[in-house]
């Protein structure tokens, strides 16, 4: 019994050291956006039912400090007023913005975002593709930041954490799950030092890729059937010998990833199951790890205190270490003071989302996302 409790405490120490090293990497590795000119950049934005967000995104991209860039926005079969908004921006800024209507999604072989992105890259004229979501908001130097960092680090692909806006409690207990990767799973400072596809991480809210590297792997057509197309694109590039890196972009780009509890749950559920390759063994292993290392110590602490258990100190150390780990990660990401303290709810939801996503995508009828069935 003591061995299990010692293992829990050692796990807590490992997670703290991993998170601390990742925080240091994120703070020290991102270069300031010094580039103002250079190779042409194509800013590519897929937009499906984004009438509430797209204007704010385009406004933020109009006054970039980088000189040579274009903006291409694709209306992905929207059923709201998205097309009218982006068409109006294209009319008012014809030298900078192009608005295009996307083709219908094929019945087989493609998911919505890879299909939209493939169409966008087919139209792009830049040497760099900057892929970003319609709900992002950019500082005037976001394009310059991307060019500076992809060139300074000598990479073929750059992604990173943008600043996340959480406007409801439902988002608070779900969206921070995206930080689990750097809190407890992956030493992201190893990504640029190795070539293994297993050490791949990306977030589609902000990706810059060199045109020649993108074309060498066959573009988004190579990940056409993946829901987590961002991560699988990074894996494809690394598998082909190209170099990727994951950095901190929160000072240059922000985003409200999902609006409310339901959208947050569905949005992450479809991605987390796909990230785990929809394999039962992966889902079970991840579930056991979450229960053992993160939820069990929190559940045992009060009963152990009341019973005077000889293992109380080890459990308390485990809980404190993980609470400190999670707090450091989330404070580094600029989230509100109370967000780290609801971590049991976050991890309970991670379990729920893994199994819900796996069940609906593997055995069920799929998940509905932006009016389309994803399966």
State the pLDDT at residue 20: 97
My answer on whether 148 and 128 are in the same domain is yes
Single residue among 235, 259, 283 that ends a domain in this structure: 259
My answer on whether 74 and 170 are in the same domain is yes
Single residue among 237, 259, 281 that ends a domain in this structure: 259
CA distance linking residue 316 with residue 300, whole number of Å: 9
Tell me the β-bridge partners of 69. 41
**169 in any annotated domain:** yes
**228 in any annotated domain:** yes
Mean pLDDT of 54-66: 97
Looking at residue 96, which CATH number applies to its domain?
A: 3.90.550.10
Single residue among 201, 236, 259 that ends a domain in this structure: 259
- Residue 53: pLDDT over 90: yes
- Place 173 in a pLDDT band, splitting at 50, 70 and 90: very high
Tokens 């990504």 label which residue? 191
My answer on whether 254 and 299 are in the same domain is no
Query: Tens of pLDDT along 345-370?
Result: 999 999 999 999 888 888 878 888 88
- Place 5 in a pLDDT band, splitting at 50, 70 and 90: confident
Please tell me which residue, 357 or 128, carries the higher pLDDT value: 128
My answer on whether 225 and 328 are in the same domain is no
Ramachandran bin of 38, using left for φ above 0, alpha for ψ from -120 to 50, beta for the remaining angles: left
State the pLDDT at residue 365: 80
- Place 3 in a pLDDT band, splitting at 50, 70 and 90: confident
Side-chain-facing half-sphere of 336: CA atoms under 13 Å: 12
Distances (CA, A) of 369 to 18, 62, 103, 201, 266: 34, 29, 18, 23, 8
My answer on whether 296 and 317 are in the same domain is yes
Structure-block tokens of residue 260: 């409310």
152 and 244 Cβ atoms separated by less than 8 Å: no
CA distance linking residue 357 with residue 354, whole number of Å: 5
As for how many domains the chain has, the answer is 2
Q: In a 3-state reduction of DSSP, which class is residue 186?
A: coil
CA distance linking residue 304 with residue 309, whole number of Å: 5
129 and 42 Cβ atoms separated by less than 8 Å: yes
Q: What range defines the domain where residue 182 resides?
A: 29-259
Residue 152: exposed, middle, or buried by beta-carbon count in 10 A (0-12, 13-18, 19+)?
middle
* DSSP assignment string, 75-131: E-S-SSSHHHHHHHHHHH-TTTEEEEEPPPPPSSS--HHHHHHHHHHHH---SEEEE
State the pLDDT at residue 79: 94
Query: Tens of pLDDT along 286-323?
Result: 999 999 988 999 999 889 998 888 889 989 999 999 99
Tokens 């559920």 label which residue? 269
């Amino acid at each position: 019994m003591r061995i299990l409790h010692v293992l829990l405490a050692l796990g807590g120490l490992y997670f703290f050291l991993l998170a601390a090293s990742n925080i240091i990497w994120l703070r020290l590795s991102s270069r300031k956006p010094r580039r103002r000119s250079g190779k042409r950049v194509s800013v590519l934005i897929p937009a499906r039912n984004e009438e509430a967000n797209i204007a704010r995104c385009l406004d933020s991209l109009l006054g970039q400090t980088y000189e040579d860039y274009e903006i291409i926005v694709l209306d992905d079969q929207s059923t709201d007023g998205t097309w009218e908004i982006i068409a109006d921006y294209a009319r008012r800024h014809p030298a900078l913005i192009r608005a295009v209507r996307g083709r219908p999604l094929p019945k087989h072989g493609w998911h919505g975002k890879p299909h939209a992105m493939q169409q966008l890259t087919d139209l792009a004229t830049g040497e760099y593709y900057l892929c970003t979501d319609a709900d992002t908001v950019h500082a005037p130097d976001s394009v310059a930041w991307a060019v500076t960092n992809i060139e300074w680090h000598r990479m073929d692909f750059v992604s990173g954490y943008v600043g996340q806006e959480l406007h409801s409690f439902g988002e608070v207990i779900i969206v921070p799950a995206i930080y689990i990767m750097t809190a407890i799973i992956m030493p992201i400072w190893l990504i640029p030092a190795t070539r293994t596809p297993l050490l791949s991480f990306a977030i589609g809210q902000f990706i810059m890729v060199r045109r020649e590297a993108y074309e060498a792997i066959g573009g988004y057509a190579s990940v056409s059937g993946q829901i987590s197309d961002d991560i699988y694109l990074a894996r494809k590039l690394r598998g082909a010998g190209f170099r990727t890196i994951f950095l901190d972009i929160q000072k240059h780009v922000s985003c409200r990833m999902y609006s409310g509890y339901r959208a947050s749950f569905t949005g992450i559920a479809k991605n987390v199951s796909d990230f785990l390759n929809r394999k039962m063994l992966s889902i079970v292993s991840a579930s056991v790890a979450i229960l053992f290392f993160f939820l069990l110590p929190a559940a045992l602490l009060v009963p152990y205190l009341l019973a005077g258990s000889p293992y109380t100190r080890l459990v308390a150390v485990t809980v404190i270490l993980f609470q400190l780990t999670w707090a450091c990660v989330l404070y580094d990401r600029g989230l509100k003071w109370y967000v780290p303290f609801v971590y049991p709810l976050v991890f309970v939801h991670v379990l729920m989302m893994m199994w819900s996503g796996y069940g609906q995508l593997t055995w069920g009828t799929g998940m509905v996302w932006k009016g389309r069935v994803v399966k």
